[in-house]
Structure 1
Amino acid sequence: MNFDIWKKLKKKDFSAIYLLYGTESFLLNETKDLLVSNALLEEEKDFNLSVFDLEETPLEVAMEDAETLPFMGDKRIVILQNPYFLTAEKGKEKVEHYIPKLEEYIKQPAPFTILVLIAPYEKLDERKKIVKQLKANAEVLASNALSEKEISQWIKERVTSFDVMISDHAISELIQVAGTNLMIITKEIDKMCLYVGSKGNITEETVQLLVSRSLEQNIFALIDKVVNRKLNEALRIFYDLLQNNEEPIKILSLLATQFRLIYQAKELSRRGYGQQQIAGNIKVHPFRVKLALGQANLFSDIELLQIINSLAEADYEMKNGKKDKKLILELFIMNLANIK
């Protein structure tokens, strides 16, 4: 993702039309909020900010609003959400849109309006005339899942906005502990920046002290402890999860997901697939594939299949109430340790 658009917004360098699309909803919302907060004063928002859901409202209604002069201000922002007609998908067919109205507007946008289209879709239909027009005339932000490198850049940008520094080791530790969910990472960054204060420095130790490990990362850590024969530490993580009211069935499900990922990553890597290709095939973040490939080296194919079968049996026992759920997981963890 190119963060230049954010720098322009902070400098109040606005474009007439924005097209924000992709599946990373956090970045879409952050960009929208940044635009609104920099283009309009708080007291202007009630009069000059309009939001239309195009699954409920005809496009023509929104375009009429875009051509209306602002009230008590210089700018008007009109946000068009869910413009499904930009994709190959069919909408809910609740409303009909007259697309030529938008096509005409793009040719001559109102000088006092900032038009924002927010399309929460992975892909747009590049064959459509309206998509080609928007990409040629609008400021475009594609916001799909970020790579590990892009997440690192995002972290640096966020930390810098607090006038705080962060080391590369601290960034790696943060991603390792908190995962790749930007909403979670942002909350943890904000917490650490408040802790170290302006001109402060976030170190690896700061991350270890303050950052809460996500459930998925706890599962990863649990597996890592088990395969390295650190059974006491693995059980401590497991008991901490239970103490935090995590359901055993959910923990089991995540364990199964992780081991399936390890097996799939191992198999695809053997076939010559790279990390990005594996991520695309399995449809998970590349960082998760990187971690899974690291753990895959600790198991043979036969061992992984045995573990996956054991997880299936544990799932059956849990759902049929044959044994105590906690005991089922304890036995699984202990048996897993004996595999190596």
Structure 2
Amino acid sequence: MTFEDILKSLKKKEYAPVYFLMGEESFFIDQITDYIIENALNESDKDFNQTILYGKDTDIGTIVTTARRFPMMAEKQLVVVREAQNIKNIDQLLSYIQNPLHSTILVINYKYKSLDKRKSFTKEVAKNGILFESKKIYENQVPDWIKNYTSKQGYQIDSKACFLLAEFLGNDLGKITNAIDKLTINTTEAKTISPGDIEKNIGISKDFNNFELQNALGKKDVFKANQIINYFATNEKNNPMVVTIALLHSYFSKVLKYYFIKNKTNDKMVASTLQINPYFVKDYKLAAKNYNPKKLVYIIALLREYDLKSKGIGDVSTKHGDLLKELIFKILH
């Protein structure tokens, strides 16, 4: 079942006897678990019928004994096992999984890794309960995810502001939702989150960031690019060179890829092929006019060279700010 499928069934009060929630992305695991804790039992029933266990402090025997208890003056009891990835031999729960007590809702949080789906234990979980794998979303999916989440909070987010958050926070959905929640609290007058709101509340400069550097390079705006690089050089801690190089490598690789798209007039096809938001297609088209394929291949090689230099390979003395200035000069000239 998908995350949406599980929430839909939970909202209908359709509870399975076992929820095994596993995978790299903790956000979806926490969302499902928190919803069950908040809604599965009445407040008056929670004192006697809700148990929270932690992987480091419990064992299989305790989990099974707790899960096999009958609820006290209620229809169901809830047993949540957090940090279950710390329990050795989790598959020793097999006997309970094969015959779970239907008056118990057992929720197991197994974060940052997944079970082997070929094993009988995993198959039994899927057969007798809900097996959910929470996967990291791809970085190119993050901007759309941010827009959708913000919309569900009753707000809109500017495309540039969306990109800034995605660039700054990556695909860590927990950090992203915390940032958006903070923004919605502090953005009361207008219902649209702007780059200015990002700068004011999150601390990301709306004028001097990798997104603006990317745009300046695409446009061959030498003055703006140098302004940003000088800012980065004086704020190296908040603008690590390794991140800038990684983003520029991705950007120029996509500009090069643009040359090989057959139907360049179809913006939707371009966006799909480059895995970008359609809003930014025009920027890639402009960059392709300013950099021919030969130059782009040269730039990608430069980025690899300076990535090694930033890690002390071939250059152990030059500051990152100065390396970045050299790199940008060679890209633009």
Aligned with 1:50 (options 32, 43, 52): 52
**Aligned equivalent of 2:266:** none
Aligned with 1:156 (options 138, 148, 158): 148
Asked if residue 177 in structure 1 is aligned to residue 164 in structure 2, the reply is: yes
Asked if structure 2 preserves the Cα contact closer than 8 Å seen for 1:314 and 1:328, the reply is: yes
SS in 2 for 1:98: helix
For structure 2, the residue ranges without an aligned partner over 5 or more in a row are 262-268
Aligned with 1:141 (options 97, 121, 132): 132
SS in 2 for 1:14: coil
Matched residues, number = 306
TM-score when normalising by structure 2 = 0.69
SS in 1 for 2:132: strand
Note the alpha carbon deviations across 1:219-253, whole angstroms, 9 max, x for none.
3432332342223333443454456x5438x7221
**Aligned equivalent of 1:224:** 215
Note the alpha carbon deviations across 1:293-339, whole angstroms, 9 max, x for none.
94995452133213422443454389622x4443333333233322x
CA distance in 2, matches of 1:23, 1:157: 20
Task: Classify 1:154/1:36 alpha carbon distance in 2 versus 1 (closer, same or farther; 3 Å).
Answer: farther
Deviation at residue 19 of structure 1 after TM alignment: 2.5
Q: Which amino acid aligns with 1:44?
A: K
Aligned with 2:194 (options 207, 216, 221): 207
Counterpart mapping for 1:1-340 below 5 A: 1-10=2-11, 12-40=13-41, 41=43, 44=46, 48-53=50-55, 57-70=58-71, 75-81=76-82, 98-106=92-100, 109-111=101-103, 113-120=104-111, 124-146=115-137, 152=144, 155-156=147-148, 159-160=151-152, 162=153, 164-166=154-156, 170=157, 172-179=159-166, 180-197=171-188, 202-203=191-192, 206-211=193-198, 212=202, 218-241=209-232, 245-247=235-237, 251-261=240-250, 294=284, 297=288, 298=291, 299-313=295-309, 315-316=311-312, 320-321=316-317, 323-338=318-333
Asked if structure 1 preserves the Cα contact closer than 8 Å seen for 2:252 and 2:296, the reply is: no
Moved more, 176-185 or 5-14: 5-14
Deviation at residue 144 of structure 1 after TM alignment: 1.0
CA distance in 2, matches of 1:6, 1:143: 14
SS in 2 for 1:300: helix
Identity %: 18
Q: Which amino acid aligns with 1:255?
A: T
Asked if structure 1 preserves the Cα contact closer than 8 Å seen for 2:53 and 2:81, the reply is: yes
CA distance in 1, matches of 2:73, 2:146: 36
Task: Classify 1:263/1:225 alpha carbon distance in 2 versus 1 (closer, same or farther; 3 Å).
Answer: closer
Asked if structure 2 preserves the Cα contact closer than 8 Å seen for 1:219 and 1:251, the reply is: no
TM-score when normalising by structure 1 = 0.68
Deviation at residue 47 of structure 1 after TM alignment: 6.6
For structure 1, the residue ranges without an aligned partner over 5 or more in a row are 85-91, 280-285
